[in-house]
Structure 1
Amino acid sequence: MKLLALFTLLLISGNIIAQDLDGAWLMTHLNGKELSDKEFVKIYQDGYFSFGAKSIPSNAFHSAGGGAFFLEGSIYTETLDFHTEQKELVGEKRVHHIDRVEDKLVITGQDQGNERIEIWEKISDKADALTGNWVFTGRKDQEGELRTSTPGARRTVKILSGGRFQWIAFNSETKEFMGTGGGTYTAEDGEYTEHIRFFSRDNERVGASLAFEYEVKDGKWHHSGISSKGDPIYELWSPYKEAYHKSN
């Protein structure tokens, strides 16, 4: 009965616009089967998306992917900047069909020649001062001087929306993936706290929390505090569309 009800939902679609996607989503079903052994979370913000997945209950990192997206009617297109499982997809446009069914998203497409149907449920679309898609553009050196850089094919992106965050380091030209991590966060009264739910480099980090100070000045995110290794950090993050696309 559950399987029948699931596919009955596909017959009742609603209109959706790009802004409806902004926020964090959890995949609940894949090809008609409830997803219980993995946690897939997808974040949409400012025309960009990323997903991170881990196995349950081991917390072992499973996969990640993301890039730009475009929505026109029910036609949903992704252009991947990175993908850990299928690097050959990086740089390609993948066209899908998307519907809103009650409070869920139904995304239908092709995966290696087979039909793939994903059902996603929104976790949250709440926003705060740090909600956005950011790219790393500078840090203070040991002398306290802020050194800035222009992001190129090799870059680090951090997307925050719906109370979820994910950072990703990758090279979109070589299709190299360096690492990712993500989870929940809070940003209030100048304090930014991350609660890690997945981490590609070390599963033992899952469950840890890190607190930092933040300030948004002239549209840029100034991020400071003590790193997980105990070292002081001061990083500069800029809006992705401004810092990256203007340089290309």
Structure 2
Amino acid sequence: MKTIYVTLFLSCLTSFLFAQVYQLHGVFSSKNGNTHRIWMFVDGYCSQTTYQDKQYISTFGGPFVQKEGEVAVQIEYNDTDPTQVGQLQAFPVTITTNTIQEKSGVLWTKEDAKDQDLDGLWRITGRKQEANMQTIPRGDRKTIKLLIDGYFQWIAINPAVKGFYGTGGGKYTFKGGKYTEYILFFSRDNSRVGATLSFDGKLEKDDWHHSGLSSKGDPINEIWSRDHQ
């Protein structure tokens, strides 16, 4: 009987340690020639994007659950196949601390961890128009932003109507009240790739105040709020 208890204990301990060590969090990347793919995981949400050096290709994502042998994604957007929105898509994978190996053969390698105060899943909740900050009510249409391991991606979507309205992303830093982006892909205008944009930023509890000039030179003054899944 004692042996059975010990075996059960070790089995539970192994399961616990596996969940602790292999919980997906961060950015994983894959490259084939000049085609890049990144898979971002943060706060229970993930996004997978494919792009080339000067050409955006596609993106999809949504809330995810990690199970033994698979990652299951509740698709909220897919700009190449909107029919998948609302469906649960399972990806058979083998996960280690530094890699995701898909059953299809695609190998993803984890990017180095680069913890910053802005890391997380965000949703825009306020925008200044003329002299007043206007609250953006929570509804079906939303703009979210993932930041993790020095990478960022924003996505404008409406899952209720399978709507996709644009995305952009790349690398970012947040130091001394300055938020800086380096654009690697932009679905609306490939000519923006390579641009560096700098903004003022500050955190107030779960709100991020973000201001400066857009890539078009237009003034921006926004509030983003944490949006845990």
Q: Same fold (TM over 0.5)?
A: yes
Residue 91 of structure 2 is aligned to residue 120 of structure 1 = no
Runs of 4+ displaced beyond 6 Å: none
Whether contact under 8 Å (1:130, 1:187) holds in the other structure is yes
Q: TM-score normalised to the size of structure 2?
A: 0.86
Residue 164 of structure 2 is aligned to residue 167 of structure 1 = no
Whether contact under 8 Å (1:63, 1:84) holds in the other structure is yes
Single out whichever of 90-99 and 166-175 deviates more from structure 2: 90-99
Aligned to 1:139: 127
**Structure 1: any 5+ residue segments left out of the alignment?**
1-13, 29-34, 109-115
Residue 182 of structure 2 is aligned to residue 187 of structure 1 = no
Measured in 2, the distance between the counterparts of 1:17 and 1:97 equals: 20
**1:106 equivalent among 85, 101, 109:** 101
- Aligned residue type for 1:51: Q
Measured in 2, the distance between the counterparts of 1:137 and 1:18 equals: 34
Aligned to 1:88: 83
Whether contact under 8 Å (2:23, 2:66) holds in the other structure is no
Quote how far apart the aligned CAs of 1:39 are.
0.6
RMSD: 1.9
Q: Deviations over 1:143-199 (max 9, x none)?
A: 1x2211222221111000010000011110111211000000000111000000011
**Structure 2: any 5+ residue segments left out of the alignment?**
1-16
Whether contact under 8 Å (1:168, 1:180) holds in the other structure is yes
Quote how far apart the aligned CAs of 1:18 are.
8.2
% of aligned pairs identical?
36
Single out whichever of 65-74 and 200-209 deviates more from structure 2: 65-74
The structure with the larger Rg is 2
Single out whichever of 45-54 and 66-75 deviates more from structure 2: 66-75
Count of residues in Structure 1 that have an aligned counterpart in Structure 2 = 213
How is 1:14-163 mapped onto 2 (pairs within 5 angstroms)?
A: 15=18, 20-28=23-31, 35-56=32-53, 59-101=54-96, 103-108=98-103, 116-143=104-131, 145-163=132-150
Q: TM-score normalised to the size of structure 1?
A: 0.80
